[in-house]
Copies of this chain bind each other. A is one copy, B any other.
Amino acid sequence: MTELTYLQAISAALWEEMEADERVLLLGEDIGPFGGAFKVTKGFVERFGERRVMDMPMSEWAFVGAAIGAAMLGLRPVVEIQFADFIATPFDMIVNQAATCYYRWQAPVPLVIRAPSGGGLRAGPFHSQNPEAWFVHRPGLKVVAPASPRDAKGLLRAAIRDNNPVIYFENKYLYRKVKEDVPDGDWTVPIGQADVKRRGRDVSVIAYGSMVYEALEAAETVAAGGIDVEVLDLRTLLPLDRDAILGTAERTGKVIVVHEATLTGGVGGEVTAIIAEHAFELLDAPLVRLAAPDTPVPFSPPLEDFFRPNAVKIAEAVRKLAAY
């Protein structure tokens, strides 16, 4: 076991996979000598050289495309998009090219795209986005969004070893805020499995990314009032873990789905729909979604605090639902 922050866990996964597999290489803006905008790849170019840690000119569409071509020819590229907000620039290359090659002509595209996402850092409309839902609506991609250092490491390893394009949303807010013991050695967290982070009987909170911590905090708060909350961390958003989602709905009969992304068209709708379709009879109350309001991510601290879901808002929603 080694205690790692969320950021260190990501670095460690990259480092170890590069040590273990010569085919793994990194492409991204400022990831070389600078170590990346968030320092995830600090020290990498010194160890692995410029051949394997490649600073990119600003041309996300082409370097994602080049990574796809390299992946087809046997490499296993990991691309860093400096901020998830800029993933709209190579969007076509991801949704039209990467997602469909295997289906159309059986060319596996073992590619990971790391996209630092999320707000709470006073970074405004273009350095705070949570665009995961776009990719969840694209068959052929896989989408993961780990919350804990352990999952961050295990899922990144699994993503690198996967033979499909995986969009890996890492939550910037968590980079240095969370820390835990992470097992050493060669293990992975399988893509497609959610994780019950807290068992409870009264209300389920389904969340992912930074909202998992807010949910856990809310659970502690309401526990004092006798409400026993189960927290399910989705971890993977495509494919969703249907069994785990229906399982928690069955156990508590009352479900709140929480995400940092804006409400309308978000992943919460999909999760809610799955429950409403397949666990309807087990429900004791309306389904509830808690998400950011439908606006761009505002910058100013009071605005962003209002915008962003948090433990207080979750606790309030839990109390209301428990009382239903």
In contact, A272 and B265 (Cβ under 8 angstroms): no
- Closest-CB distance, A115 to chain B (whole angstroms): 14
Partner of A133, one of B88, B265, B273, B295: B265
In contact, A272 and B276 (Cβ under 8 angstroms): yes
> What is the interface size of chain A, counting residues whose CB is below 8 A from a CB of the partner?
49
Chain A positions 8-62 with a Cβ under 8 Å from a chain B Cβ = none
Residues on B with beta carbons closer than 8 Å to the beta carbon of A100: 125, 296
- Closest-CB distance, A241 to chain B (whole angstroms): 13
Interface stretch, picked from A167-175, A279-287, A308-316, is A279-287
Q: With an 8 A cutoff between CB atoms, is A202 at the interface?
A: no
Residues on B with beta carbons closer than 8 Å to the beta carbon of A266: 137
Interface stretch, picked from A91-99, A179-187, A189-197, is A91-99
Chain B CB within 10 Å, residue with most, of A91, A95, A273, A296: A273
Q: Give the copy number.
A: 2
Chain B CB within 10 Å, residue with most, of A86, A138, A288: A138
- Closest-CB distance, A63 to chain B (whole angstroms): 15
Chain B residue with the shortest CB-CB distance to A283: B280
Known A92-B88, A99-B296, A134-B134: A287·B273 in contact at CB below 8 Å? yes
Chain B residue with the shortest CB-CB distance to A288: B277
Residues on B with beta carbons closer than 8 Å to the beta carbon of A306: none
Chain B residue with the shortest CB-CB distance to A278: B286
Q: With an 8 A cutoff between CB atoms, is A270 at the interface?
A: yes
Report the bound CA distance from A296 to B125 in whole Å. 31
Residues on B with beta carbons closer than 8 Å to the beta carbon of A125: 100, 103-104
Q: With an 8 A cutoff between CB atoms, is A119 at the interface?
A: no
- Closest-CB distance, A87 to chain B (whole angstroms): 9
- Closest-CB distance, A287 to chain B (whole angstroms): 4
Report the bound CA distance from A180 to B95 in whole Å. 36
Chain B residue with the shortest CB-CB distance to A139: B294
- Closest-CB distance, A119 to chain B (whole angstroms): 14
In contact, B280 and A269 (Cβ under 8 angstroms): no
B-facing mask of A137-156, CB < 8 A → 1, else 0?
11110000000000000000
Chain B residue with the shortest CB-CB distance to A280: B286
Residues on B with beta carbons closer than 8 Å to the beta carbon of A264: 136-137, 139, 238, 240, 270
Report the bound CA distance from A294 to B242 in whole Å. 15
Residues on B with beta carbons closer than 8 Å to the beta carbon of A103: 125, 295-296
Known: A88-B92, A89-B91, A272-B277. 11 other contacts (CB 8 A): A85-B96, A89-B92, A103-B125, A104-B296, A133-B133, A136-B264, A139-B296, A140-B296, A265-B270, A272-B273, A273-B289
CB within 8 Å of B: which residues of A?
85-86, 88-89, 91-92, 95-96, 99-100, 103-104, 125-126, 133-134, 136-140, 238, 240, 261-262, 264-270, 272-273, 275-278, 280-281, 283, 285-289, 294-296
6 contacts between A and B (CB under 8 A): A100-B296, A136-B265, A138-B265, A139-B294, A264-B270, A272-B272
List 5 A-B pairs, minimum CB-CB distance, nearest first. Answer: A137-B265, A280-B286, A269-B269, A88-B92, A272-B273
